[in-house]
Structure 1
Amino acid sequence: MLISLFSCEDEGYLSSPDAQLKFSSDTVMFDTIFTTIGSTTQHLRIYNPYEENILISRIRVAGGDFSNFRLNVNGTPANEVYEVEVPARDSIFIFVEVTIDPNGQNLPMVVQDSIEFTTNANRQSIKLVAYGQDFKLVKNENIGTTTWTAEKPYLVYGNAYVDSVSTLTIEPGTKIYFHKEAGLYIKGTIEAEGTFQNPILFTSDRLEEAYKNIPDQWNGIILYSGSHNNVFNFATIKNAYIGLQVGTIEHEGFATLELNNSRIENMTYAGLFAMKSKISGYNNVIANCGFYAAALLVGGEYEFYHTTIANYWGGYSSRARQTASLILSNNLIIKDSDGSEVTHTGNLEKALFGNCIIYGNNRMEIELGKNDEKAFNYYFDHCIIQVPDTFNTSNKEHYRNVWKGSTYDPLFMDPYEKYNYALDTLSAAKDKGSLEYAKFFPNDILNRDRLADNGPDLGAFERVEKKDEK
């Protein structure tokens, strides 16, 4: 009897009607998610601040079983649980998920509920808030000639194919989201013509803030060899494995692309991966990739003006990047399944970089892979390149007005955390550009005038100093 008595005393709970639980937050918030698609899991921590155990007599979602929200209370999946103990000076977790039903509207919606806690007849509550977006689903579809509009975002599950006789037109302001391992594959033509006011977005379907700049969330976009007249203008491609692959080694012919005023960022392998293709572009940012920001292989023809190629990869993997930001090569060696090597070669007819920046956090950010049996023509004109001071740039057939090494750091505003590749006021890239090129591209990626000051800046961004108010 004595043992039983003492056991009962040890298991007693705080009985004060004034007992108040403490919470890690007063609101569990979900960023915009797609309707019918579940969210990531958020968590809430419940603290017992007292020296005695607390018994929460009931924890429930106010909306009950009809709520869009789902709870897991300390390991128990249920929207209503009873008699949950929180030890003295300890805590428990509640995990929350949400699924939002489509409402047939085009604008984002908000779904709200709350978690109610009853302790010693004392009630407390925590808000639940989720923002949802209705969408058009594209699931493993072969797309004929069609137009995607900005009316609703598109969600690609699996893969979307554009066949060799079809054209996919994407209107300004359209947003295309891709589920894990999904991709867009173009054998015909894609015309993604955004505007400065209404750019086009290609990214993953994880819209939570924590996933904003995480790579490898989807596969990427492939333009097959034989795919011509492709255009990306005022477009952003981000958070994939390879952002934009132009050309396929296993198919005959070549792909063509106009790439302007666009950003390709945060890729696990490469931002722009081109093989035996023809690409022209200006006002582009290609940045933050695990291996190459831009790889131009097996020859081809390439022209880039006022383009920023910047690679400060880090923070996503313990593996340090050993590769250059930019690789130019007229060959590619591929291993077969049996371990044998196959070499593919092609003439590099042209690789012109005018008023560009190629920079990063490696000492050598340019790699040149030459096969003597094929043409290997490249030219850097009015460019900052990140190479050692000993790197030979004396050959006028390849280099003209090139600034190299850490002395000519472009001083990007914040390349590591905010991925901002605009120029600081002390940037070595200021006013260094060729006026000849700038006249063809008088506005930068932010639509600012390059010709309004002492000279055009290198890269995609023109530094505009604030005028002295005096």
Structure 2
Amino acid sequence: MRYLILLTSLFIGFISCQEDDLLTSSSAKLEFSTDTVMFDTVFTGIGSATQRFKVYNRHSQPIRISSVELAKGNSSQYGINVDGVSANQVKDVQIEANDSIYVFVEVNIDPSTDDIIEKDSILFYTNGNIQDVKTIAFGQNVNLLMGQSLNTQTWDATRPYLVYTSCLVDSLETLTIEAGTKVYFHENASLFVLGSLIVNGTLDEPVLFKGDRLEEFYQDKPGQWGAYTTLENGATYVFGGLHFLPGSFDNKIDYAIIKNANKGIQLDSAVGNNYTLEITNSIISHMNLAGIYAQTSRVKGENLVLNNCGSHAIAMVLGGKYNFNHVSIANFTPYSSRNTASVALNNYFVSGDVGFVYDLEEATFTNSIIYGDGGENGNEIVIDKADEGAFNYYFDHCLIKVSEDFDMSNENHFQNILRNPESGPRFVSKEEYDFRLDTLSPAIDAGKAEYGAATPLDMNQNDRTTDAGPDLGAYERQQ
């Protein structure tokens, strides 16, 4: 019996040893979750986001990879991390039976080159076999900005600009940005303006302001850029992506696309009686908080589209003066629920037991659309006033979404309102962010001719004065 037990133990041990033996057959191959790791538009001199893939051992025995290495070795622009080990070459990597490991990859493009394609391969040496996963990155040279104070200068479309840490247009200086220029922002970076900003985009070549993550996943993702800081009480204060500081004046933006920030534009305390900002023919989209956040400021806007802002499309707080004509607010937020109004008006601030009241000299919306899928108690406009200060506002010839309880009876504030049309504004496609009007839109020809004549060309340079009446919003329907 003792002999039988010994034989049985030896047999089991032999089987166990066989199961634990490394697989050494040259026919045993690894499998990979991808054959190519691709980086889409990596800025020169700035490391990429990290990509990853999996390496599988589909066999019933462990397998040992003699070496995982970059084909270009030490001259490679890529870096790899193999199962927790970072090096250009990692030796003796074992994958257990029916198991897998991760390989992480990043790339840094040489800033001394022009636009290039950077290629390499990650080689896997196993039992005399060589397998590879290819890597490819598309590099783009940029003008890199890291905290500079900017004097008067002009940016053009020759190379994109990357604001890696926040920059300031200094007092009495002017930054001019010409048509077709692309300005990318890293996370927690803003462009602060103490002097003046002039944006000269065109219909065919708008100026682009957006985050520096260019992968497809990030195209419509809000909150990618804009400076923020933590206050002493632990709260987070968020600055505008384009932030106009007190004292800034004579700012003009024409044909810009501003997207993916925390706040698109913020304006603080106006100086003098002129507008702090005149913005025309521009799109502000996919903001985590507000599209335009103006406090005690002066803003004029024409032919604007503001869409998919997580809090307000336009917030006018602590008084000021505001005039908007032919604006399309299409505030749909599929990535979050929103219980705030797209348009907010306010003229006071309370800190502890102390209140501060400011005059709202004027806030007008004409020939405009104010619509969305949220709102404060179903209202896409909110009126928040202190009676001690002036509070002058006026909506005329507008399509507005409000609740049944919202009072629009005062003609000093509301005239010729398309209130909650059953069909909504009937945009061509809110899913594709096409906020032109379809053929059955109630906003067609619903505007006032006087306001149309003040802004005779729509955002696409179509004449809105030649038919029965101007359409509401930024776009004139073309038959």
What is the DSSP-based 3-state SS (H/G/I as helix, E as strand, rest coil) of the residue aligned with 1:261?
strand
Is contact 1:225–1:252 with CA below 8 Å preserved after alignment?
Answer: no
- Residue of structure 2 aligned with 1:347, choices 359, 364, 370: 359
Task: Give the greater-gyration-radius structure (CA).
Answer: 2
Is contact 1:389–1:404 with CA below 8 Å preserved after alignment?
Answer: no
Give the corresponding residue for 1:395. Answer: 410
Give the corresponding residue for 2:97. Answer: 88
Structure 2 counterparts to residues 165-244 of structure 1, below 5 A: 165-219=172-226, 220-244=241-265
Tell me whether 1:117 sits opposite 2:104 in the alignment: no
Is contact 1:33–1:208 with CA below 8 Å preserved after alignment?
Answer: no
Is contact 1:305–1:355 with CA below 8 Å preserved after alignment?
Answer: yes
Give the corresponding residue for 1:305. Answer: 325
* Separation in structure 1 between the aligned mates of residue 259 and residue 152 of structure 2, nearest angstrom: 25
What is the DSSP-based 3-state SS (H/G/I as helix, E as strand, rest coil) of the residue aligned with 1:377?
strand
Q: CA separation of 1:242/1:138 partners in 2, compared to 1, >3 Å: closer, same or farther?
A: same
* Separation in structure 2 between the aligned mates of residue 370 and residue 351 of structure 1, nearest angstrom: 13
Q: CA separation of 1:429/1:52 partners in 2, compared to 1, >3 Å: closer, same or farther?
A: farther
* Separation in structure 1 between the aligned mates of residue 444 and residue 353 of structure 2, nearest angstrom: 45
**TM-score (normalizing by structure 1):** 0.89
Give the corresponding residue for 2:110. Answer: 101
Tell me whether 1:370 sits opposite 2:370 in the alignment: no
Greater CA deviation, 378-387 or 19-28? 19-28
- Deviation of 1:365 (Å): 0.9
Tell me whether 1:27 sits opposite 2:36 in the alignment: yes
Is contact 1:408–1:429 with CA below 8 Å preserved after alignment?
Answer: no
Give the corresponding residue for 2:155. Answer: 148
The code of the aligned residue for 1:9 comes to Q
Give the corresponding residue for 2:297. Answer: 277
Structure 2 counterparts to residues 57-96 of structure 1, below 5 A: 57-96=66-105
* Separation in structure 1 between the aligned mates of residue 453 and residue 18 of structure 2, nearest angstrom: 86
* Separation in structure 1 between the aligned mates of residue 49 and residue 400 of structure 2, nearest angstrom: 41
What is the DSSP-based 3-state SS (H/G/I as helix, E as strand, rest coil) of the residue aligned with 1:459?
coil
What is the DSSP-based 3-state SS (H/G/I as helix, E as strand, rest coil) of the residue aligned with 1:20?
coil
Structure 2: stretches of 5+ with no match in the other structure: 1-8, 227-240
* Separation in structure 2 between the aligned mates of residue 100 and residue 341 of structure 1, nearest angstrom: 55
Greater CA deviation, 25-34 or 215-224? 215-224
* Separation in structure 2 between the aligned mates of residue 209 and residue 54 of structure 1, nearest angstrom: 36
Give the corresponding residue for 1:324. Answer: 341
What is the DSSP-based 3-state SS (H/G/I as helix, E as strand, rest coil) of the residue aligned with 2:18?
helix
What is the DSSP-based 3-state SS (H/G/I as helix, E as strand, rest coil) of the residue aligned with 1:378?
strand
What is the DSSP-based 3-state SS (H/G/I as helix, E as strand, rest coil) of the residue aligned with 1:9?
helix
The code of the aligned residue for 2:396 comes to D
Identity of aligned residues (%): 45
The code of the aligned residue for 1:238 comes to K
Is contact 1:247–1:255 with CA below 8 Å preserved after alignment?
Answer: no
Is contact 1:358–1:386 with CA below 8 Å preserved after alignment?
Answer: yes
Is contact 1:72–1:95 with CA below 8 Å preserved after alignment?
Answer: yes
The code of the aligned residue for 1:333 comes to F
Q: Cα deviation per residue 1:38-94 (whole Å; 9 max; x = unaligned)?
A: 111111122233344333332221111211111111111122223323333332211
**TM-score (normalizing by structure 2):** 0.87
Is contact 2:320–2:362 with CA below 8 Å preserved after alignment?
Answer: yes
* Separation in structure 2 between the aligned mates of residue 448 and residue 64 of structure 1, nearest angstrom: 57
Give the corresponding residue for 1:132. Answer: 139
- Deviation of 1:451 (Å): 4.8
Is contact 2:269–2:297 with CA below 8 Å preserved after alignment?
Answer: no
What is the DSSP-based 3-state SS (H/G/I as helix, E as strand, rest coil) of the residue aligned with 1:283?
strand
Is contact 1:227–1:255 with CA below 8 Å preserved after alignment?
Answer: no
Structure 1: stretches of 5+ with no match in the other structure: 466-470
Give the corresponding residue for 2:312. Answer: 292
Tell me whether 1:38 sits opposite 2:67 in the alignment: no
Give the corresponding residue for 2:460. Answer: 446
Q: CA separation of 1:119/1:449 partners in 2, compared to 1, >3 Å: closer, same or farther?
A: farther
What is the DSSP-based 3-state SS (H/G/I as helix, E as strand, rest coil) of the residue aligned with 2:147?
strand
Is contact 1:246–1:255 with CA below 8 Å preserved after alignment?
Answer: no
Q: Cα deviation per residue 1:187-216 (whole Å; 9 max; x = unaligned)?
A: 211111111121111222222322223222
Is contact 2:191–2:243 with CA below 8 Å preserved after alignment?
Answer: yes
Is contact 2:300–2:324 with CA below 8 Å preserved after alignment?
Answer: yes
Q: Cα deviation per residue 1:355-393 (whole Å; 9 max; x = unaligned)?
A: 111111122110011222222222212211110133222
* Separation in structure 2 between the aligned mates of residue 130 and residue 322 of structure 1, nearest angstrom: 42
Tell me whether 1:247 sits opposite 2:256 in the alignment: no
Q: CA separation of 1:186/1:76 partners in 2, compared to 1, >3 Å: closer, same or farther?
A: same
Q: Cα deviation per residue 1:95-152 (whole Å; 9 max; x = unaligned)?
A: 11111111353xx321111112233323222211111111122222221222122222
* Separation in structure 2 between the aligned mates of residue 135 and residue 342 of structure 1, nearest angstrom: 48
Q: Deviating runs (4+, > 6 A) in structure 1?
A: 251-254
Structure 2 counterparts to residues 398-409 of structure 1, below 5 A: 398-405=413-420, 407-409=422-424
Is contact 2:368–2:473 with CA below 8 Å preserved after alignment?
Answer: yes
Q: CA separation of 1:41/1:413 partners in 2, compared to 1, >3 Å: closer, same or farther?
A: farther
Is contact 1:307–1:459 with CA below 8 Å preserved after alignment?
Answer: yes
What is the DSSP-based 3-state SS (H/G/I as helix, E as strand, rest coil) of the residue aligned with 1:96?
strand
* Separation in structure 2 between the aligned mates of residue 313 and residue 79 of structure 1, nearest angstrom: 44
Is contact 1:351–1:379 with CA below 8 Å preserved after alignment?
Answer: yes
What is the DSSP-based 3-state SS (H/G/I as helix, E as strand, rest coil) of the residue aligned with 1:242?
coil
The code of the aligned residue for 2:268 comes to G
Give the corresponding residue for 2:476. Answer: 462
The code of the aligned residue for 2:118 comes to V
* Separation in structure 2 between the aligned mates of residue 341 and residue 132 of structure 1, nearest angstrom: 55
* Separation in structure 1 between the aligned mates of residue 328 and residue 412 of structure 2, nearest angstrom: 22
* Separation in structure 2 between the aligned mates of residue 351 and residue 312 of structure 1, nearest angstrom: 23
Structure 2 counterparts to residues 401-440 of structure 1, below 5 A: 401-405=416-420, 407-415=422-430, 418-440=432-454
Is contact 1:226–1:255 with CA below 8 Å preserved after alignment?
Answer: no
Is contact 1:311–1:325 with CA below 8 Å preserved after alignment?
Answer: yes
* Separation in structure 2 between the aligned mates of residue 120 and residue 457 of structure 1, nearest angstrom: 72
The code of the aligned residue for 1:276 comes to T
* Separation in structure 2 between the aligned mates of residue 173 and residue 223 of structure 1, nearest angstrom: 22
The code of the aligned residue for 1:357 comes to I
The code of the aligned residue for 2:385 comes to K
- Deviation of 1:290 (Å): 2.4
